[in-house]
Amino acid sequence: MTSTANDANTCCIVTGAAGFVGSHLAERLLSLGCRVIGIDDFSSGCWENMSAFEKQPGFSFHECSVTSPGLLAEMRERHPAAACCFHLAAIVSVPYSVEHPEETMEVDCHAAVSLLREAEELGFRRFVFAGSAAEYGDDGRLPLREEYASEKTRHLSPYGRAKYLASAAVASSRIGVALRCFNIYGPRQDPGSPYSGVISRFVDMALQERSYTVFGDGMQTRDFVFVSDVVDAYLCAAGLSGAVPAPPGVYNVGTGRATSIVELAETISAVEGRRARIEHLPERAGDIRHSVSVPEALERAAGWRSRVSLADGLKETVSWARTAGSR
């Protein structure tokens, strides 16, 4: 995607700007000529993620929680041109959500809905919410379509339930778009974090020449989508970078391709030029066996589709991890 005149000086709020995806989104918005107001409380993000753009004149940062009352009104008072809100900040650990269900509901649902209502009252042009594939719970109908998630869905965690309720509220708003992202991977995903995905952990194991630890038989499948494709989806949702704004609603963000955990390990090993060594551990209770998206709705609505292949995305991720590890 290329920058357009409509992007110049667009002022965007990005919550979770110090996080994995949020930092990539903030950096891309700045490259398009947008002004970016970053918000994060560093509960899971880190300042290093913003090091590539923190000193750019179009970027300003506020350390605060998204549960703060009147947050968007305060940001609008400080930045009167703010017109779009990308809400990515959340409790993202499923195990943590199981142990802290009330806090998860407060942060991932109630705070999101409060921000949405504020954005409506303040006349924001667009509110884009980071949903999750966890909203589908244990639905065995594959591939997963947006309409499969409903009030009757059996969610496997408070995280999935909170995200579903927030997505439903956002999708019903005249300014709201909720993106149900599947398994995102790419540079800046910390393998040592409890929030890290299997790819960041496998890449770290590969660089240390350790065996891949796989829970169960490794035939579980996931829909892995590269972070730059996810950022493109956010831009499409907001109608930035030449995209036609997606109509209000909820949209899957994935590749539509199922990759097994064993296949993933083998692909990373091929990138590294070595043979995959896999150590099988007992299967984890509660893990979803298969997950893959139907991503066509966002393509029909706004022209988005994933473009980065798994092999190319892994090459870029390994290259970043190797450089980051040498610092």
DSSP single-letter state for residue 284: P
Whole-angstrom Cα distance, residue 167 to residue 178?
A: 5
DSSP single-letter state for residue 106: I
Nearest to 130 by CA among 103, 156, 101, 159: 159
First-residue to last-residue Cα distance in the chain: 31
The total of other beta-carbon atoms located within 10 Å of residue 2's CB is 7
**b vs e for 284-322, b when ≥16 Cβ sit within 10 Å of the residue's Cβ?**
eeeebeebbbbbbbbeebbebebebebeebbbbbbeebe
The total of other beta-carbon atoms located within 10 Å of residue 196's CB is 16
Give me the catalytic one of 96, 136, 159, 251: 159
The torsion defined by the Cα of 48, 51, 55 and 58, in degrees rounded to 10, comes to -100
Q: Which residues are bridge partners to 225 per DSSP?
A: 184
Catalytic, 159? Answer: yes
The tokens of 247 are what?
A: 């109509």
Catalytic residue numbers read: 159
